Amino acid sequence: MPKEKNVIIAKDLCLEYKKDVPIIKDSTFTIKSGSFVFITGPSGSGKSTLLKSFYGELKPKSGILQIGGVSLNDIKSSKLAFLRKYLGIIFQDYKLIKEWTVEKNVMLPLLIAGYSKNVCEAQTKRLLKHVRLSGKEHYYPLELSGGEQQRVAMARALAHNPVIILADEPTGNLDEYSSRVIWGLLEGANEQLGTTVVVVTHSIPTNLKVPFKHLYIENGTVYEIS
Partner 1 sequence: MKSLKNHISLIIPLFAILFAVEFYFLIDKIITEYEANLSKDYSIIVVSKKPLTLPELKAVEPDITAIKEVSSELVLERLRQNGVDVDFKELKSFLPHFYKVYLGSFPSASTLRHIKKLLSSVDGVTRVETFTKVHEKIYHFLVFLKNISKFFLGIIFVTSIMLVFKQIEIWNLEHSERMYIMALFGAPLWMRNAILIKLSIIDTIISTLLVYLIYSYLLSTKYLKELLGFENITIDSHDLLRDLGWLFVLGICISVINVLIVSWRQPKIT
Stretch that binds partner 1, among 2-10, 28-36, 38-46, 107-115 (CB under 8 A): 107-115
Q: How far apart, in whole angstroms, are the C-alpha atoms of residue 32 and residue 224?
A: 13
Burial group, residue 2, by CB count within 10 angstroms (0-12, 13-18, 19+) = exposed
Among residues 22, 30, 66, 95, which is the contact residue for partner 1, using CB under 8 A? Answer: 95
Number of residues in contact with partner 1 under rule CB under 8 A: 24
Task: Closer to partner 1 by CB, 95 or 125: give it.
Answer: 95
Q: What phi and psi values does residue 60 have, to the nearest 5 degrees?
A: -60, 140
Among residues 24, 96, 133, 155, which is the contact residue for partner 1, using CB under 8 A? Answer: 96
Residues facing 166 on adjacent strands = 89, 198
Q: Is 208 in the site for partner 1 (CB under 8 A)?
A: no
Task: Closer to partner 1 by CB, 29 or 86: give it.
Answer: 86
Residues facing 38 on adjacent strands = 199, 214
Q: How far apart, in whole angstroms, are the C-alpha atoms of residue 122 and residue 36?
A: 28
* Binding flags for partner 1, 40-79, as an x/- string (CB under 8 A): ---------------xxx-x-----------------xx-
Q: Is 84 in the site for partner 1 (CB under 8 A)?
A: yes
Least distance to partner 1 from the beta carbon of 211, Å? Answer: 29
What residues line the site for partner 1 (CB under 8 A)? 55-57, 59, 77-78, 80-85, 87, 89, 95-97, 99-100, 108-109, 111-112, 156
